[in-house]
A and B are shown apart, each in its own frame.
Chain A
Amino acid sequence: MPDGEAPAATATRASVRTAASPPLRSRIRLRAASLSGQIFIYFLFASFVGLVVAEVATKGGNQTGAQIMNGLQIGAIYALIAIGYTMVYGIIELINFAHGDVFTFGAMLSVWIGALLGKVGLDVTKLATSNFAGLIAALLIIFPLTMVCTGMLGVVIERVAYRRLRNAPRLAPLITAIGMSFLLEGIMFVAAGSGNYPAQKDDWITGIAFTIGSVRVSWPQLFVIIVAVVMMLLLQGFVRYTRMGKAMRATAQDRDAALLSGININRTISLTFFIGSALAAAGAVVYAIYYDLLQWNLGFRFGIIAFTAAVLGGIGNILGAGLGGFLIGLIYVFGSDLLGGQWGNSIIFAMLILVLTLRPSGLLGMRVPDRA
């Protein structure tokens, strides 16, 4: 993976200079880049603090507390999706545009799997709402099934749409990714209709877990955050301590060198897609349980927001994706609360533009993408 140089204000002219006398020029350029990046971090931090202060000042402490919980809970879902983006980008440098729709597809799959199980005489909803053990059993059925099915979907997508274009110019796989996104959306549109599609899981987990001051934390919120954190820790452990995880890291660092040292590149990339999609599916099941209503084009917005999270955290960095997810969740919730809900998406898109132009390496990222 060729490491590019950080973009600077005078990027193109600087690149000419770099070509002329590399060491000095690139040093100047890197310094300029890190300067604008540093400023961006301070700016981000300041505006985040500003958001919280404004929220406390206008809405009071209680609502701020409730919004922090909301932000963490939606951020957990963003984080789970963002991991898929960041892993795929880290390993094959592709923005997997279809990933948001894989998420939605996972949510729909969880509904369809539930219906299928109902056909063979296992009513999951009844099981889940009977008692605590039943709920655990239902979750242990629905989660692995949905995650495996969605993971396989991710593998198939990579096999069909991306593998043949691995050595093609950058834009080719991006265009197939957009095509894949629309294909999935189209299938869901035909299957689920244009309106809301209820997942019928909203009564699985209910009730208030505990209260801090007067901020009530509900079980569903706690559940969402716990699932996300557990998944992220598992993934981090997997990537760090297993052989396959090592293979993934090696492939991400240098595909050719990994190949030379005997790593099966294709299998590693397939595994990456499997894990990324499976985590999106976990987020999807959680979403279905929490929000209940699904829409065929849900994945577009979630995909963009999660991608913003991945970039904010530093693309290619799994911890960064988690951090970015929670941050974006908080920013989304606070921003919507302060400016009005209709501006929520615009805030995220503006964040996306700012991060990509000012600090494409994100908060924790080391590598700076700078390729055609």
Chain B
Amino acid sequence: MPDQSDIAEPQARVDLPDTGTQTRRAESASVFWLVVVGGVLLMLLAWLLPWFVEQTASGVGHSPMDVIVSAPTGVGWIAIWALGIGMVLLIAGVAYDAFAVNSGRVEPFRWSRIRAGIALFCAACTLLVLVLVTSRSELVFGSVSANALTDNAVWMMLAGSLLLAFAYGLRPWVTSHGGLAFTAVAFVIGGLFPLMFNQAPGFVVWGAQSAGIYVLLALGLNVVVGFAGLLDLGYAAFFAIGAYTTASMASANHGLHLPFWVLIFIGAAAAGLFGAILGAPTLRLRGDYLAIVTLGFGEIVPDMAQNNLFGATGGPNGISGVDSPAFPTHGSSLDFGIFGINPRPYYWTILVLIALVVVLLRNVERSRLGRAWIAIREDEVAASATGINTVSTKLLAFSIGASVSGFAGAFFGAMLSSVTPDNFQFAVSVTALTTVVLGGIGNITGVVVGAMLVSFVIFWVLPELQGWMGTLGKNIGVQSLGTIQYSDYKFVVYGLVLISIMLLRPSGLLPSRARKVELETGAESEPLAAVQERA
């Protein structure tokens, strides 16, 4: 298969009779680079991690190398050296690719046996090391031990090298099937994530509670903001409605104890219903006024919960003691009991929910409804002139977006086992908006990446940074590094991300094709000069 994906392509221009092939290929190429950068970062992080995390008392190694070498056989040394050589080859190959694409003078290394050979060699070494390491790790549902992140450095390194081998060896395929490649990587790495970080339960909790929830919120908000082009600043309200619905039907609050697997759908339906109710009177407003009205709604809902309207919400303390979800086989002969406090089942559950939502939304996006959303977004009058019922189409966008949020809320309530009004402040809506803007308004892959990035930085890096910096400060002799409250800078990060993305790359990290054209050229109010320039 010839590889010509990203050889100095001309910028996609608005007036070209665009078949979409070129831009689609550029998009897939960006997935390739995303995977490569992810792989290299994981490998780098693995080696840097021991600088930031203190050695644990249980005698866990100081670097990935130490841990692997302490594997019970002498094969460890051979495996490590082989893997090291493979990784160096891979990085060199990827660097050559990057050079070739950037300079535009030489072509990237084509599909060949050498290319596949390097990748296979490296993958085999990785798997060998994997087997050596797993011989001393715990079972899937085993108990989790002390928080020893260094141990997980091994996993990060192995995941990184696998990612890189995959992207490098199958480059032509990755660059032509970007979405599929991304999905495959996301679900393999995502699915193995709790096993990778079996020594760091906090990280798995983060994965389920922050990353998973915000991915769902971003997916839902993307329907409203990205597909239909309606800015919703009160998105947390639907999240709250989902959470409160679940909490009141699965706790002692009203004496109801419905099963979780039914409740997530009830929560989603309730949120969707409220989405339609809110949407009905406000949808004739457009743009910024709609945004402000949704903001008002987003503030009223937590206010009502706070003030214990009708005595149903428990006031400022919220509803606590929400039932823990049970495994679907609960009650049969194959009973695993309930989820309890082990984060892993929650994590896998939300992964499945995300997969479900992604599949649904992808199909909706390509359906008649999805095309109607795009038409409305680009020109509402023209859309209604072609026979699209703009009111019901917009209502559906609001409702579908809200129900995804309700899904997330239902899960959130069950996982935390309590909901309080504080969980649904304006900051939640802004976080969701930041994830969508950062990832790429209107692009499903983009918003997933954006949600993971934002939640990683805000809910994992910033809270942990003080500890890491404290250790780093001790290691390099700058004590003051550990005295800064890094999590205080959360809002600064949101602000900077929103401003810089809108100014520098308004279509986000992984742009959607149609949105890119709209956001970068301003389809509605194109300056005369730009039109003349093209003519």
Contacts from A to B (Cβ < 8 Å):
7-8, 11-13, 15-16, 19, 94-95, 160-161, 164-165, 167-176, 178-187, 189-190, 300, 304, 307, 340, 342-343, 345-346, 349-350, 352-353, 356-357, 360, 369-372
- Distance (whole angstroms) from the CB of B46 to the closest CB of chain A: 31
B300–A167 contact, CB under 8 A?
no
Given known A-B contacts A180-B495, A186-B494, A300-B426, A360 and B289 have beta carbons under 8 A apart: yes
Residues of A within 8 A of B233 (CB): 178
Closest A residue to B294 using CB positions: A353
B231–A345 contact, CB under 8 A?
no
C-alpha gap A19/B385 in the complex (Å) = 9
- Distance (whole angstroms) from the CB of B533 to the closest CB of chain A: 14
**Which one, B59-67, B191-199, B279-287, B344-352, is touching chain A?**
B279-287
Residues of B277-331 at the interface with A, using a CB-CB cut-off of 8 Å, are 281-282, 284-289, 291-293, 295-297, 299-300, 303-304, 306-307
A346–B522 contact, CB under 8 A?
no
Partner of A175, one of B286, B299, B437, B496: B437
C-alpha gap A173/B306 in the complex (Å) = 32
Given known A-B contacts A13-B384, A15-B384, A168 and B522 have beta carbons under 8 A apart: yes
With most chain A CB atoms within 10 A of its CB, the pick from B233, B299, B306 is: B299
Partner of B491, one of A13, A167, A186: A186
A346–B300 contact, CB under 8 A?
yes
Residues of B within 8 A of A160 (CB): 499
Partner of A12, one of B384, B491, B523: B384
C-alpha gap A307/B390 in the complex (Å) = 28
Q: A307-B292, A352-B296, A357-B281 are in contact. List 15 more A-B contacts (CB 8 A).
A: A12-B380, A169-B519, A169-B524, A174-B231, A175-B433, A175-B437, A182-B491, A183-B494, A186-B488, A186-B489, A186-B492, A346-B304, A349-B297, A353-B282, A372-B380
C-alpha gap A370/B493 in the complex (Å) = 33
B293–A357 contact, CB under 8 A?
yes
C-alpha gap A343/B225 in the complex (Å) = 30
B13 within 8 A of A: no
Residues of B388-405 at the interface with A, using a CB-CB cut-off of 8 Å, are 390-391
Number of A-B residue pairs, CB cutoff 8 Å, is 165
C-alpha gap A181/B502 in the complex (Å) = 14
- Distance (whole angstroms) from the CB of B277 to the closest CB of chain A: 12
Residues of B within 8 A of A181 (CB): 495
Number of B interface residues in the complex (CB < 8 A): 57
What 3 A-B pairs have minimum CB-CB distances, sorted nearest first? A183-B495, A179-B498, A186-B491
B284–A345 contact, CB under 8 A?
no
C-alpha gap A94/B523 in the complex (Å) = 18
C-alpha gap A371/B380 in the complex (Å) = 10
C-alpha gap A336/B426 in the complex (Å) = 22
Given known A-B contacts A184-B495, A372-B287, A169 and B522 have beta carbons under 8 A apart: yes
Partner of A165, one of B295, B303, B496, B502: B502
Closest B residue to A182 using CB positions: B495
Residues of B416-437 at the interface with A, using a CB-CB cut-off of 8 Å, are 426, 430, 433, 437
A352–B527 contact, CB under 8 A?
no
Residues of A within 8 A of B525 (CB): 167-169
C-alpha gap A160/B518 in the complex (Å) = 22
C-alpha gap A357/B491 in the complex (Å) = 31
Partner of B490, one of A178, A186, A353: A186
C-alpha gap A167/B307 in the complex (Å) = 43
Residue pairs across A and B with Cβ atoms less than 8 A apart, 15 shown, are A12-B380, A12-B391, A16-B381, A95-B288, A169-B523, A170-B524, A175-B231, A182-B491, A184-B495, A186-B490, A343-B303, A345-B299, A346-B300, A353-B296, A371-B286
B503 within 8 A of A: yes
Residues of B within 8 A of A172 (CB): 502, 506, 519
